[in-house]
Structures are given as structure tokens and as C-alpha cells.
Amino acid sequence: PGSARVFSGIQPTGVPHLGNYLGALENWVALQNQYPSVLYSIVDLHSITQAQHPDQLRNNILDMAASLLACGINPEKAILFQQSQVSEHAELCWILGCLTSMPRLRHLPQWKMKSKEKNEGSVGLYTYPVLQAADILLYKSTHVPVGEDQVQHLELAQDLARIFNNRYGELFPEPRALLSSTRKVKSLRNPVTKMSKSDPQTMATISLTDSPDDVALKIRRAVTDFTSEVTFDPETRPGVSNLVTIHAAVAKLSVEEALSQAGGMDTGAYKGLVSEAVIQRLTPIREEIQRLRADRAHLEGLLAQGKHRARELAAPVLAEVRHRVGF
Ligand code: ADP
Ligand code: NA
């Protein structure tokens, strides 16, 4: 449909890991070819809900931009921009926050999890889902690729669209979730938890810029069990099943096809096959990230273009919101 618009965001955590790529970014690349209007935002306003070192944050923003481009995000097909450069996000967040009750936020998963970790969370962490709603509604987005963990946050965006429309007249479409693949890449050290950037064990996570040697070492050391056969049973054999998941995903095979390639191998030999497949898939991405990273001015120029294109869409929507509210 002509008015369909996709919006998604990712925090500037530097170079993404294999789980981010296979669970989210690969799908982002597909969506830019399927939808007429697509925006991808590096959500730096969200990232300061946790303490960030300023120089590190600046680097991480550029590293994420380089990574998204290297993964295949095409600025001709998707507007790639830095959230804080479009101040309309923060302004709409304030207005939507005034339509959000405190209890509505208290039970959302991210707050429950992260505020507990810290004992006390900031107001920003508490209202994080309102900013997400603002990100989406600011562009009258209709489709939002999200992981399962974000579904409740998207429901808040839907509620806020409805609440705004009821109070001020129809303006926002209710955004729909595009559940990205339910594929979850697990930690290589503890395969019952997901691969995550916050994992303190560096051997648990494969970064898109890991060298072939690093990839091979991490996969060789990946935790498996005492059965040498290669089978797929995530419940009882999470370690080897995670390797099958990774193999299938990077080589674009079904699980059955991956297993048949493993035919007769023990887990040790299979690890060699999996690391070859991962290295083959990541090498062009790693090389492109390194090439792009070396030219900060080019990346900053691309983000400046993205900012202008995003603002062109955001400004008239926010102007209409301001008018409806009475400003
Ligand atoms: P992290 O868990 O490393 O902090 P984020 O929460 O920033 O990653 O996730 C960014 C995107 O990557 C989200 O869409 C999320 O669903 C996806 N993602 C993160 N980790 C994984 C994983 N291990 N497997 C699949 N997808 C993942
Ligand atoms: Na998350």
C-alpha cells in the first residue's frame, strides 16, 4: 500500500553482534526493498538512559552507522539518521508523556528489568517507551519491525495513537508490529541465554568485526555437551542446536539442510564447518565496516542527509500536533 511506512530504531552500541544481525538487521535490509517508505534511526536519545562516555558515544554512533551500511542498509531506499538530530522526537515525547498515566508504564518489561538491576532507574528510563512511541508516531509509521521483547512497547504506541486521536481528532495511524524472525542466537558460553552486547564474557558474543581467527576460536570454544552427534533439539541440547541455528542462518539453509550438511560429523568437526560459514558471511561485512569507519566525514555527511530527509517528514506532523494541542 502506498502510505505504508516502516520505522525502526537501534541503539548506538557500536558494532553490532551476530545476534543483532541475524535477528534484526538482516530483516531491515529486506524491508527496505518491500516498503515504499522506510526510516531507520540510530536512537542515541534512548542510549543515554544508561551512562555513556561522550567520546565513546560519538564513536559508537558512527560505528553503528558504518555497520548498518555495511549490512546492506541503502540510504537511497531507507532514511538512515541519528535520532537526537531531529529534535521533534523529544518534543513529541513530551506531549505524548502528558497523555500517559504512570501505572501504564510501571509494568512494562524494560523498566521492571533494568530499574531492578540498578535499584533505582531514571525518569528517562521510565519514560523510554513514550519516546519509542514518539519515534514511531512522528512519521505516522504504519509498520514497526520489533523483537518479541518489544511487543508491549509497541502496544503503548498503539494506545497513545488512539488516545491522541480521541482527544485531538484523527491524526495517527495505529502502527502494527512486524514480528522479525523469532530466530534467537544464543550465547556461545551459556547457550540458554541470548547472545547480548551486555554479556561480560567476550568469548560469548561474535561481533561483526571479529577477525576470522577470533570467530574460529570462539566457535571452537563454544559450550556443547558430551554427546558428539550433531542434532537439533534446543530444549535438551542448547549448545549444539545454537550452532545449527547459526549455521542455517548464515548459510541461508533450513535446519534440515544444515543437519544434512553435518551428516556424520562429530561436534568438533561441525564447529569447523560452522565457523567457515560464519567467516564467509561476515568477511565482506567486516571489510566494509572497516572501510567506512576510516572515513568519518563521509559517515557524518550521510547522517546529515538523513537528518534533513527525516525532518522534512517530521516537521509537518509536529506542526499539526502543536496546532491540535493549542500551541
Ligand atoms: P542486546 O541484547 O545485545 O542488548 P538489543 O537489545 O540492542 O541487543 O537488540 C537490538 C536488536 O537485535 C533487537 O531487534 C533485538 O531483538 C535483536 N537481537 C538482540 N540480540 C539478539 C539475539 N541474541 N538473537 C536475535 N536477535 C537479537
Ligand atoms: Na533490548
Q: Is the CB of 9 under 6 A from ligand 1?
A: no
* pLDDT single digits (tens) 63-118: 999 999 999 999 999 999 999 999 999 999 999 999 999 999 988 877 877 777 76
pLDDT of the residue at 85: 98
Across the chain, what does the average pLDDT equal? Answer: 95
Percent of the chain with pLDDT over 90: 89
**Closest C-alpha residue for ligand 1 atom 1:** 196
**Closest C-alpha residue for ligand 1 atom 18:** 20
CA distance 187 to 204: 5
- Give the pLDDT mean for 248-261: 97
List of residues 6+ apart from 171 with CB closer than 8 A: 140, 164, 165, 317, 320, 321, 324
Q: Is the CB of 64 under 6 A from ligand 1?
A: no
Percent of the chain with pLDDT over 70: 98
Residue that has been written with the C-alpha cell 515525547 in this structure: 93
197 is catalytic: yes
pLDDT of the residue at 119: 62
* pLDDT single digits (tens) 283-314: 999 999 999 999 999 999 999 999 999 999 99
Are 5-184+297-325 and 202-290 equal in CATH topology? no
**pTM for this entry:** 0.95
CB neighbours of residue 231 within 10 Å: 13
pLDDT of the residue at 301: 98
pLDDT of the residue at 149: 83
The highest-level CATH class for domain 5-184+297-325 is: alpha beta
Ligand 1 pocket test, pick from 7, 8, 20 with the greatest ligand atom count within 8 Å of Cβ, gives 20
pLDDT of the residue at 2: 62
CA distance 254 to 274: 14
Domain 202-290 has CATH 3.40.50.20: no
Q: Where are the domains of the chain?
A: 5-184+297-325, 202-290
Active-site residue, selected from the candidate residues 118, 140, 184, 197: 197
* pLDDT single digits (tens) 199-234: 989 999 999 999 999 999 999 999 999 999 999 999
Residue that has been written with the C-alpha cell 541465554 in this structure: 193
**Closest C-alpha residue for ligand 1 atom 9:** 20
pLDDT of the residue at 109: 78
Confidence check: pLDDT of 190 > 90 = yes
Active-site residue, selected from the candidate residues 77, 114, 184, 252: 114
Q: Is the CB of 197 under 6 A from ligand 1?
A: yes
